[in-house]
Amino acid sequence: MSKDRLVIFDTTLRDGEQSPGAAMTKDEKLRIARQLERLKVDVIEAGFAAASPGDAEAIRAIAEVIKDSTVCSLARTGEADIRAAGAAIKPAARGRIHTFIATSPIHMEKKLRMQPEQVLEAAVAAVKLARQFTDDVEFSAEDAGRSDVDFLVRIFEAVIKAGAGTINVPDTVGYAVPAQWRERMRELLERVPNSDKVIWSTHCHNDLGMAVANSLAAVQAGARQVECTINGLGERAGNASLEEIVMAVRTRSDVFKLETGIDTRQIVATSKLVSSITGYPVQPNKAVVGANAFAHESGIHQDGVLKHRETYEIMRPQDVGWVKNRLTLGKLSGRNAFRARLQELGIVVESEEQLNHAFARFKALADKKSEIFDEDLQALMSDETQEIELEHYKLVSARFHSETGETPTAALTLSIGGQEKQTESSGSGPVDAAFRAIESVVQSGTELMLYSVNAITTGTDAQGEVTVRLAHGGRVVNGQGADTDIIVASAKAYLNALNKLHSNALKLNPQAETI
Ligand code: KIV
Ligand code: ZN
């Protein structure tokens, strides 16, 4: 890797997935991984193989299809973890094992209950074992921000000797401040023997809102890999946001003098996909990908931008993928045009049967909505894969009644495990009535944690995309549904979340009848 290249290591599918409720199915992870490949990230951390058989399976599936990015699995230093990671990345064109162990006094003493010498030995053994599976091994010193720098120097020297090619310095708890983080990276590069033989990496959490600033400070001190996530998703307050790091390095090339391999025009599409799959909305004023990131409200600003764009804009919206909704297909479009547009959008259709089914739904949508945009197709295909993957609960038909001064009601026909059931309820609004009607027959006992609606495109005929977050038995899942009728979209989203809980329940207990 050239010294002037900044490696972008995306951990949306691993650290990002650790956000509450952001757990993804294998299919959802595959869709994000394909989009990350289009974005041209260097490394995709696809998961933590030893965490669950589902995680291992998703990493393996990603390793099978991704050709242009390195596919990586996280692993603790234990033998079983390294072997699970090695097996999961085996099909990858380029596979990496990322092993980590905590190095701060508080973590070693209170969490690991290990002496520093034991930690050092475990790290070296893990790196040596990982090298039996791949030449590309990364080592992380968890909680490096609160670790003793002399110990870090020793452990990093030892793991480099054992064969690690990337050394990651994480601020696990988001405690660092930029000047101090820059100095830590500088000191490590100066003191660790053979530091010039490896790539130095940084991984910052955002607890004090400084993840991006700290990551960039480490880059200024010589780090050449940044670990980050789309939309800054991640454990607690999140990780450094990929789009902010990439655009800072590009826009301020006078300061950083580095390049990334990222196709920045894919940034907005990736942000939207991650947001819709995880159910984590992007705040309107979020840098780069927020809906208002390029909106000029004050008259003085508007006037300036109209006269000369650069008076108030330091980036061009089209360079990060902000484009007008693109009209793609209509009622008269044929099956071949539909297939071709899906291909252009990078949406993979597994079989002719799925294509036929999706095409029939596209025609039904085109009957209701004369103009079909790329975003509509993406939502339709997202619904489609959900139906194929998880269809224990399905909405067959719905009737709603809502009138000023009357109590709203919902009457639904559901298919549950292939059997049709009618259900009816009233509620404070039609959405509430629909959810109550579903619950009166499913009786899941779940808690509704979040309900949100977004318009997929502009116009009053736009499809509404609904996210519903449900919690049950310690698990939290997100369900999505899209329709031109937002009450139907809401019912679909609720059923999608129930399906996710149900499929997990079946995995844990195949005898389980209910959630
Ligand atoms: O925050 C952290 O320390 C991590 C490591 C596993 C790299 O996520
Ligand atoms: Zn982390």
CA 49 to CA 468: how far, in whole Å? 27
> Which tokens belong to 340?
């071709």
CA distance 300 to 311: 10
User: What distance in Å separates the CA atoms of residue 199 and residue 370, rounded to the nearest whole number?
Assistant: 52
Per-residue model confidence (pLDDT) at position 511: 34
> Which atom of ligand 1 is found nearest the CA of 11?
8
For ligand 1, the distance from its centroid to the CA atom of residue 50, given in whole angstroms, is: 15
The secondary element (H helix, E strand) that includes residue 138 is strand 137-142
Q: Which contacts qualify for 436-442: CB closer than 8 Å, 24 or more apart?
A: 436/410, 437/410, 437/411, 437/412, 438/393, 438/412, 438/414, 438/491, 438/494, 438/495, 438/498, 441/414, 441/416, 442/393, 442/414, 442/416, 442/498, 442/514, 442/515
In angstroms, what CA-CA distances link 221 with 102, 179, 201, 256? 23, 10, 11, 10
* pLDDT on residue 507: 44
Residue type, 23: A
Atom 1 (ligand 1) nearest CA: 172
CA of 143, closest atom in ligand 1: 3
Atom of ligand 1 nearest to the CA of 239: 1
CA dist list (Å): 44 to 37, 48, 92, 190, 252: 8, 12, 11, 29, 25
Identity of residue 475: R
**DSSP per-residue letters across 58-124:** HHHHHHHH--SSEEEEEE-SSHHHHHHHHHHHTT-SSEEEEEEEE-SHHIIIIII---HHHHHHHHH
Residue 475 three-state SS: strand
3-class secondary structure, 318: helix
Which atom of ligand 1 lies at the shortest distance from residue 140's CA? 7
Pocket of ligand 1 (CB under 6 A): 15, 74, 100, 140, 142, 168, 170, 172, 203, 205
Distances (CA, A) of 219 to 33, 62, 139, 186: 25, 29, 18, 10
User: Token match 């979209």: residue?
Assistant: 489
Residue 336: per-residue pLDDT: 86
Ligand of minimum distance to the alpha carbon of 169? 1
- Closest-lying ligand 1 atom to the alpha carbon of residue 18: 8
Q: Point out the ligand 1 atom lying closest to the alpha carbon of residue 168.
A: 7
Is-contact 497 277, C-beta < 8 A?
no
CA distance 141 to 124: 12
* pLDDT at residue 88 in the model: 98
- Tokens 């480490």 belong to 218
Testing ligand 1's pocket by substitution, the residue of 14, 74, 97, 142 carrying the most ligand atoms inside 8 A of its CB is 142
Identify the pLDDT of residue 385. 66
Angle at 132 between CA 196 and CA 1, to 5 degrees: 30
Task: Indicate which ligand has the atom closest to the C-alpha of 72.
Answer: 1
> What residues of the chain score a pLDDT lower than 50?
506-515
Looking at all shown ligands, the one closest to residue 142's CA atom is: 1
- Give the nearest ligand 1 atom to 173 CA: 1
CA of 204 to the centre of ligand 2 (A): 7
Retrieve residue 269's tokens.
Answer: 């599409």
Probe ligand 1: pick from 73, 167, 172, 226, max atoms within 8 Å of CB?
172
The pLDDT value recorded for residue 500 is 84
- Cα–Cα distances in angstroms (integers) from residue 25 to residues 143, 347, 503, in the given order: 29, 17, 10
The secondary element (H helix, E strand) that includes residue 307 is helix 299-307
Distance 207 CA to ligand 2 centre (A): 11
For residues 227 and 9, give the distance between their C-alpha atoms in angstroms, rounded to a whole number.
5
Ligand 1 binding pocket mutation candidate from 106, 140, 202, 205 (most atoms within 8 A of CB)? 140
| Nearest CA owner, ligand 1 atom 2 | 172
Whole-angstrom Cα distance, residue 13 to residue 47?
6
Residue with tokens 């003493």: 109
**Ligand of minimum distance to the alpha carbon of 144:** 1
- The model's pTM: 0.83
Compute the mean pLDDT over every residue in the chain, rounded to the nearest whole number: 90
* DSSP code at position 234: -
The rounded Å distance from CA 322 to ligand 2 centre is 29
Q: What is the pLDDT of residue 21?
A: 76
Quote the tokens at residue 176.
């660092």
Q: Is 393 left (phi over 0), alpha (psi -120 to 50) or beta?
A: beta
Burial of residue 296, with CB atoms counted within 10 A of its CB: 0-12 exposed, 13-18 middle, 19 or more buried: middle
